[in-house]
Amino acid sequence: MSSSENSRKESDRHNPKSSLISLISRPEIGPIGVMILLFGMLGYFSIPASETTWNPFAGEGFNALGIRNNLRVISQLGIIALGAGLLIIAGEFDLSIGSMIGFAGACMAMTLRWGFSIVLPYISFDGGTHLEFYTLLHIPNVTPTLAIFITLCFTLTFGWVQGFIIVRSGLPSFIVTLGGLFFLRGLTEVSLRSFNHRPDQAKGATTVTEIPDIKNIINLPGYGEMEREAAKYLPETDLISIVKNLPSDVIAKISERLEYTAQRVAEAKTDLLIAKGVKPLEKALENAIASDNEFMIKTIQEKIENFKIDPVIPKSITEVDIARAYIDTIGSARPIADFFGGNILETIFDWLYFPIDWNVNNFGNQFAPGLYSCVMIWVILSLVCYIVLSKTQVGNWIYSTGGNLSAAQANGVPTNKVKISLFMFSAFCATLFATCQVFEVNTSDAAKGNLKELEAIAAAVIGGIVMTGGFGTVLGIIVGAFIFGLAKEAFFYIPGIDGSFYRVFLGFVIIASALLNENIRKRIMGNI
Residues that bind other proteins (CB under 8 A): 9-11, 13-14, 16, 387-388, 391-397, 399-400, 403-404, 406-408, 410-413, 470-471, 521, 524-528
Spatial contact of 445 and 114, defined as CB atoms under 8 Å apart = no
CB of 518 to other proteins, least distance (A): 13
CB of 85 to other proteins, least distance (A): 15
Distances (CA, A) of 82 to 85, 94, 158, 458: 5, 12, 18, 12
Choose between 37 and 525: whose C-beta lies nearer to other proteins.
525
CB of 522 to other proteins, least distance (A): 9
Gap between the Cα atoms of 158 and 109, Å rounded: 18
In the DSSP assignment, the letter for residue 366 is B
Q: Which is nearer to other proteins, 202 or 524 (CB)?
A: 524
| Cis preceding linkage at 355, omega within 30 | yes
Q: CB 398 → other proteins: shortest distance, Å?
A: 10
User: Can you give the length of the chain in residues?
Assistant: 528
CB of 120 or CB of 528, closer to other proteins: 528
What are the two backbone dihedrals, phi and then psi, of residue 208, each rounded to the nearest 5 degrees? -120, 120
Least Å distance, CB 414 to other proteins, is 9
**Residue 152's closest CA among 431, 445, 370, 433?**
431
Q: Which of 110, 72, 79, 112 has its CA nearest to residue 97?
A: 79
Using the minimum distance from each CB to other proteins, give the nearer residue, 66 or 470. 470
- Per DSSP, the residues of 200-241 read TS-TT-SEE-----GGGEEEETTTEEEEHHHHHTS-HHHHHH
Instruction: Evaluate whether 56 touches 40 at the Cβ level (below 8 Å).
Output: yes
Complex with other proteins: residue 11 or 237, whichever CB lies closer: 11
Q: How far is the CB of 411 from other proteins (least distance, A)?
A: 4
Smallest distance from other proteins to CB 16, Å: 6
Min dist. Cβ of residue 389 to other proteins (A): 11
- Residues 520 and 482: their CA atoms lie apart, in Å, by 21
CB nearer to other proteins: pick between 128 and 526: 526
218, 226 contact by CB (below 8 A): yes
What amino acid occupies position 126?
D
Instruction: Give the nearest distance from C-beta 32 to other proteins in angstroms.
Output: 21
Least distance CB 407 / other proteins (angstroms):
4
528-to-12, 522, 523 alpha-carbon distances in Å: 20, 9, 10
- Residue closer to other proteins by CB (options 361, 404) is 404
Dist CA 452 CA 95 (whole Å): 9
Task: Check: CB of residue 176 under 8 Å from CB of residue 165.
Answer: yes
Between 68 and 521, name the residue whose CB sits nearer to other proteins. Answer: 521
Return the number of the residue (93 or 471) whose C-beta is nearest other proteins.
471
Give the Cα separation of 425 and 163 in Å (integer). 11
Distance CA 239, CA 19 (A): 64
Which residue's CB is nearer to other proteins, number 14 or number 308?
14
- Write down the least CB distance from residue 156 to other proteins, Å: 17
By beta-carbon proximity to other proteins, the closer residue of 98 and 476 is 476
CA distance 227 to 231: 6
Burial 445-475 (b: 16+ CB within 10 A, else e): bbebbeebbebbbbbbbbbbbbbebbbbbbb
> How far apart are the C-alpha atoms of 423 and 453, rounded to whole Å?
13
Helix (H, G, I), strand (E, B) or coil at 118: strand
CB of 63 vs other proteins, minimal distance in Å = 41
CB of 497 or CB of 515, closer to other proteins = 515
Torsion-angle region of 449 (φ positive above 0: left; ψ -120 to 50: alpha; else: beta): left
What is the distance between the alpha carbons of residues 481 and 487, in angstroms, rounded to a whole number?
10
Q: How far is the CB of 395 from other proteins (least distance, A)?
A: 8
User: With respect to other proteins, which residue has the nearer C-beta, 10 or 249?
Assistant: 10
Closer residue to other proteins, CB minimum distance, 400 or 442: 400
The least CB distance from residue 171 to other proteins, in Å, is 24
- DSSP result, 275-300: HHHHHHHHHHHHHHHHHT-HHHHHHH
